[in-house]
Every structure is written in structure tokens, then in C-alpha cells.
Structure 1
Amino acid sequence: MSLGGSGKAMPPGWFVGCGNMGGAMVAGWVRAGRDLSALTAISPSGREVPGVKVATEPPDAAPEWVWLGHKPYQVEDVASSLAPKVEGAVILSILGGVECASLRRLFPGARAIVRLMPNLPVSHGEGVTGLYSDDADETLRAEISDVIADLGLAPWGEQEDDITAISTVAGSGPAYVARFITALAKQAEALGLDAATAQAIALQTVAGTGLMARSTGEGMRGLAVRVASPGGSTQAGLDVLDAAGGVEELIARTVAAARRRTEEMAAEARG
């Protein structure tokens, strides 16, 4: 994955509520060499965010970009005090389930409203960040794409539902992959390996497979065929995964549950 930082400066701005995901984004920018001297993380607790200066209150200087990274349920309270201070700024929200219309209502004087749904691997420049805006012009979109490209893949959605789809799969996906790695490691232990070795080989198997597939462009079906000899042990395992009620049905139920919760949070934010 190419990194685009090369010392480029972040537009002057604030990161309001720079928690786990916000901190992962900052770590990715630091890793890419992005100049973050104009970015201030606003944290009431004053908790350190490595790579950026931290303030407990918004600075006096008006921001150009304002990143929202607090808990989604806090958006009404945060906006009531923040909105008058950020007139004319670009609002960039990583708040799950809070739609553009809700953000526009809360920040009526914003230059543009942009939703971003990153996933945790952005910290290593290997993430996925879904992007959507219904009022950002092409120049602003290009500027945002340049900044987010430091963090990995950054597709723009054509409609707002697209960002929900991206976040439902990519945003939640690392947790699902982690569960799969754990399950694979447990079975390695059941076959007699010690816990550390089992975890290491499960993790490397998943990481290596993803890296190989990305670098070759090979489809997943073709990759599985290459591994599985007809009538062999791998094929016996695939027969279980591919059976009715197997892995596709399990993932479908998992993603549907996440999607339902996203829609519930959006309804809560509208209300």
C-alpha cells in the first residue's frame, strides 16, 4: 500500500473526541509522515494522543476542518456548544449511524458535511475508509482523498447508503476476522500445539493469504481451488464451510445484525 504523506500538511483543524478510532487515524498519518502541526485533538480529560497536541477546550483560532470522533450519542450535546465556533468549517464525521442530514441540522453553518467510516487498520496505512458527502465540491473531495489516502483504501460512496454498506463490512470486519483467527487458533491448540504457536500460525495464515491475494489480484474462489486438491483434506473442510448453514449464511446473519444496529443508531440521531 503506497503512503502519500511525504510531509504534506493537514489543514488547520480540530479532532473533537480523538478516541480509539481517531487515535488510529492519527497514528496512520504519523506513520505516513503527514505534518499534523496544525491539528489539535480536543479531549476534556486531556488524555495524550501521540502525534498531535491536545487541548481540553477548543482553541481560539477558527478551524478549517473539524473532525468529529466522540460517541455518536453525544452529538447533540457536542454540537450545541461547538456549532457557533465552527461556522464555515468542513465537518468530517466518523460517528457511526449519524447521517448527513442530522449533521447539517446540527451544524447549519458548515461549509460542507462529510461522513467517513474508517476501520482500525488505518493505524498502519492498511485500512478502509468509506467517504460520502452530498455537498462537498470536487476540490474539497480531492483534498480529503489526499489526506485519507495515507490510511489505506478510501472509496467515495455515490449515495449515503453506500457508506453504511462499507462500514458494515469493513468497519466491523476486523472484529469478525479477529474472531475467525481466534477460532482457527483454538483448533490448532486442540490438535496439540501450544497457545502461542497456535495464535501465531493462525494470524500469519490470514495475513499472508490477504497479502498474496492483494498482490496477485487472484479471486478468492481461484485461490481456494489452488489450495484444495480434489478429494483431499482441505476440500473436506471446505465442504463443511460451503454446506447449508455454513460460512456464507453465518456471515450473512452477522452483517445483517450489524446493519440493523446501524439503522437503529441513525434513527436515534434523527430523533
Structure 2
Amino acid sequence: MTLSAFSPSSPLVLIGAGKMGGALLAGWLVGGLDPASVVVVDPKPPADTMALLGKAGIAPLAAPPAGVQARLLLLAIKPQMMGDALPALKALVGPRTLSLSIAAGTTVATIEAALGGAIIRAMPNTPAQVGRGMTGLFANPAATVEDRDLATSLLAAVGETGWVENESLIDAVTAVSGSGPAYVFLLAEALTEAGIAAGLDPALAARLARQTVTGSGELLYRSELPPGELRRNVTSPNGTTAAALDVLMAEDGLAKLMTRAVAAAKRRAEELAG
């Protein structure tokens, strides 16, 4: 299954064109998805998504269209909106429809009760917009091998994928990779502020931090070495990096702080599930 699986008569219907829905759509359009095979339902898409839709010639709809059965129904709305939104989407579900939800905390059981049929929960992240996303997926028993292949190919078109066989693990995926880009962006912010505190010009500090974070990420992406070995390769004994790592790797340092952060994100995802 590829992006050619969709057509005007069997479209990809995107419900919610916010940051994540827009990021996925952007990646798919770059990858060759035919705009004529896309239906976007969102009464007020953000400005960046509106620009994307305008460029692609896609007019967003304020409500689900009548007389359309989706091949894939992508649920990209906030979890708090699901209860009100799902009943109105039932008419879009036909015998071949796969409902793919990227709403954190909304369980398969909740979606099954409203829509029935094949359902896959997925947790992508915003680097999907540049083809470097990471998505964890879980399928209900009604999802066929064809459905799983379709979901895999869609998300693989904008990054990498990994399946879990226990739905509760999607909350852990959310906490690590779904929310993870924000942790990396915070690192860049903190590194910028630290550079300014060390006496650097703010603009230069921002450039140094941005290029260091993105360059290191690219090196990690291209290298077959584990992160720990790459870290050790940068660290000379008794050198400047070692002095900094003595702080970051202290007993109360980054590892424990990140463990607490991920646990907090996972706990919130569980709360959203009720």
C-alpha cells in the first residue's frame, strides 16, 4: 500500500488540521499524495496549515461531507473533542474504512463504540513534516493485514514506525517520541540561554545551539553507533566536555530528570484516557 491507495471516490479524510494533522498531510503531499484524494474537515485550520492547503488546492470543510466513505479516516483532533466529534463521523465509515487515530489518550474502545470497524491508534511526532518522524502504532482485532500495511506505509512515508501489541504502551510511546521533540527544542533553548550567560552574543548563541542540536541529531541518524558511544567519542578525559558531563550525569542529573519527565507525560496520557 502506498499513497496511491486513495482516490476522490475513496479518499483520505483528515479530521482536524492542526499541528500534527497538518504535519502529516504536509509530509504526504511532498511524498506524492494526490490533493484530489484528500478531504480536510476543520472549521478553523491554523495559518500555516491554511497556507499548505491553499498551495495544494484543498478547501477545508467546516463539517463532515455527505455521501463520502473514507478509505482512511484520520482522527487528528484533541482528545477532549473526541466525545462530541465521533458520532458525526459514523457516516464516513464504510466496510473498507480504516479509522486511524493520533489523539493521545483516546482508547480504541472509545472509538469502537462510536465508529466500529478497523481501528488503529498511532502516535506520530512533528518531525513527520520533514520526513523524519517516528510513530508507534497499535491495531484492534478488526484491522486486517491490509489495514496494518496501509497504516505502516502511510507513516513510513514521513519517517519510521514501530508496532506495540499492548495498547497501554502507546502512552509510553507518547511520552518518549510523541512529546519528545519538545524536549529537544527545550534543550536548544536552554543551550542558547547558557551560551548567553557565558558571555556570547544572543544571536550567535542561538546559532551555535541550533546547529549543534541539529548537527548532532543528523550524526546520530546517520551513524550506526549507539548514543553512548557517540558521546564517549566527543569526551576527552579531564577535558571540557567531561567537566560538563560531570554535571549532566550526576546522580540528580539529566537521566533522572528525563525519567521523571517521561513518567509525567505518560501519566497525563493515561489521565486523558479516563
Q: Same fold (TM over 0.5)?
A: yes
Match among 79, 83, 88 for residue 76 of structure 1: 83
- 1:54 correspondence with 2:60: yes
Q: How many residues align?
A: 261
Gaps of 5+ in 1: none
Give the partner amino acid of 2:39.
T
Match of 1:8 in 2: 4
Matched position secondary structure for 1:8: helix
Aligned mates of 2:168, 2:62 — CA distance in 1: 34
Aligned mates of 2:170, 2:36 — CA distance in 1: 29
Kindly state the Cα deviation for residue 148 of structure 1 after the two structures are TM-superposed: 1.4
Match of 2:128 in 1: 122
Q: Alignment identity in percent?
A: 36
Give the partner amino acid of 1:130.
G
Match of 2:216 in 1: 209
Match among 83, 94, 102 for residue 102 of structure 2: 94
C-alpha contact (below 8 Å) 2:138/2:167 kept by paired residues: yes
Matched position secondary structure for 2:60: strand
Match of 2:158 in 1: 151
Matched position secondary structure for 1:168: helix
Aligned-CA RMSD value? 1.9
Cα offsets for 1:239-270 (capped at 9, x unmatched)? 11111110011101111111111110011xxx
Gaps of 5+ in 2: none
- Residues 266 and 251 of structure 1: CA distance in aligned 2, closer, same or farther (over 3 Å): same
Aligned mates of 2:159, 2:45 — CA distance in 1: 29
Give the partner amino acid of 2:104.
G
Match among 236, 242, 256 for residue 235 of structure 1: 242
Cα offsets for 1:72-112 (capped at 9, x unmatched)? 1111111122224424321111111001111111213x3x0
Cα offsets for 1:126-167 (capped at 9, x unmatched)? 111111102211122112211211110111112212322212
Kindly state the Cα deviation for residue 37 of structure 1 after the two structures are TM-superposed: 1.8
Cα offsets for 1:154-191 (capped at 9, x unmatched)? 11112212322212100101111111111111111122
- 1:161 correspondence with 2:164: no
The TM-score normalised by the length of structure 1 is 0.90
Alignment of 1:170-189 (within 5 A): 170-189=177-196
Aligned mates of 1:171, 1:41 — CA distance in 2: 23
